[in-house]
Structure 1
Amino acid sequence: MLRIGYLRRGPAEFGGDPTAEAARLSALGCEVVRTEAVTAPGRQGDAVLRSILGTIGAGDELVVTRLDQLGDGGRAMLEVLEQLERRGASLQVLDPALSSRGPGGPALRAALEAVAMLEPLTARPRRPAATQEIRDLQRAGVGPVEIARRLGVSRMTVWRKLKAPEGCA
């Protein structure tokens, strides 16, 4: 079993000394301790975490000092827990003491699911539709519904662009 420590650090939003926290994780038996910097609040800096999740194996354990180290919200934290479970690995949080192993595992999952359900759904980001792209796809025989799906825009946007006179939309 490999114990991997992970610290996600922001510019000033997280108090404490990152080297002291890394030493704490090492003292608790983490053979590997990886630290990641987040450049601005609300920005995901998760390349190191994704790398850990891609290589962690069955029986391994991811150790974090706080639950919020896993992401900026309940959905992000739940997704990390689900990835660990798919790979047969577990999660241990130090403050407060939580673990996905044993009897507390289902309770931790239920709590994260509840928090994720309370978060507002974010709309899928849409890009402005380029009229020329829409017209080119139509000329190629692609229907309006498929054009909307391919370009990530609403069907109404496609219809508006197609009905507008050439050169006006």
Structure 2
Amino acid sequence: MSKLYGYARVSSGSQDLALQQAALAAAGCTVVRSEKVSGTKRDGRTELATIMDFLRAGDVLVVTRIDRLARSVMDLQNIVHELKAKGVALKAVEQPVDTSTAAGKAFLDMLGVFAEFETSLRKERQLEGIAAAKAAGVYRGRKATIAPDAVLALHREAVGATEIAKRLGIGRASVYRIIEASEAAAAK
């Protein structure tokens, strides 16, 4: 007998999962897994990984909307391929998506393209806003967390890059970057 498994996701801790959870329960999901994590990639999505492990042939994975499952076409297609290989269907409560039908599959592909497009637009707007803030002198970026003087002082004492990184709690690449920048400036 097939089971309905629900998956709910929001991007940030300040967002609420209650509406998605209620919709999935109303759709008949016997299990609902939820998480607060970005949907732009699968890394770090432990609840999605758990539910993917639970699913068996004949089961149905239910989401409220496709963008709750994935924000990139590639991730969405990978998830759909994994589900298909297991004999599992995908349905969306608020959208006409049902991978057990040809029309549902086509609509799924279109929604995936739009979800990725929306993410790209948001990123472009964010970068434009940062550029405008920098031009206005309002935004200066993140404050430096590395003290170049401390790196260079240890380097002058013949301390190796690995040890410098360890002592200062930074990455070796940062140590090398600071040393190279200092040597380049001295060469000019």
On whether the aligned pair clears a TM of 0.5, the verdict is yes
- 1:71 paired to 2:70: yes
Structure 1: which 5+ residue stretches go unaligned? 121-169
Matches within 5 A, 1:127-166: none
Q: Contact 2:24 / 2:93 at 8 angstroms: preserved in 1?
A: no
Task: Name the amino acid aligned to 2:88.
Answer: A
Task: Answer yes or no: is 1:8 the counterpart of 2:9.
Answer: yes
Identity %: 29
Letter in 2 for 1:72: R
Give TM-score, length-normalised by structure 1: 0.58
- Correspondence 1:91 to 2:90: yes
Gaps of 5+ in 2: 121-188
- Asked if the contact 2:8–2:35 (Cα under 8 Å) also holds between the matched residues in 1, the reply is yes
Partners of 2:71 and 2:105 lie apart in 1 by 21
SS in 1 for 2:22: helix
Count of residues paired in the alignment: 117
More helix by share: 2
Provide the TM-score with structure 2 as the length reference: 0.52
Which secondary structure state, in structure 2, belongs to the residue aligned with residue 92 of structure 1? strand
C-alpha distance 68-114 of structure 1, shift in aligned 2 (>3 A) = closer
Please tell me whether Structure 1 or Structure 2 has the larger radius of gyration of its CA atoms: 2
Please say if residues 77 and 112 of structure 1, whose CA atoms lie closer than 8 Å, have aligned partners that are also in contact.
no
CA RMSD of aligned residues (A): 3.1
Distance 1:113 1:67, change over 3 A: closer
What is the distance in 2 between the residues matched to 1:112 and 1:66? 9
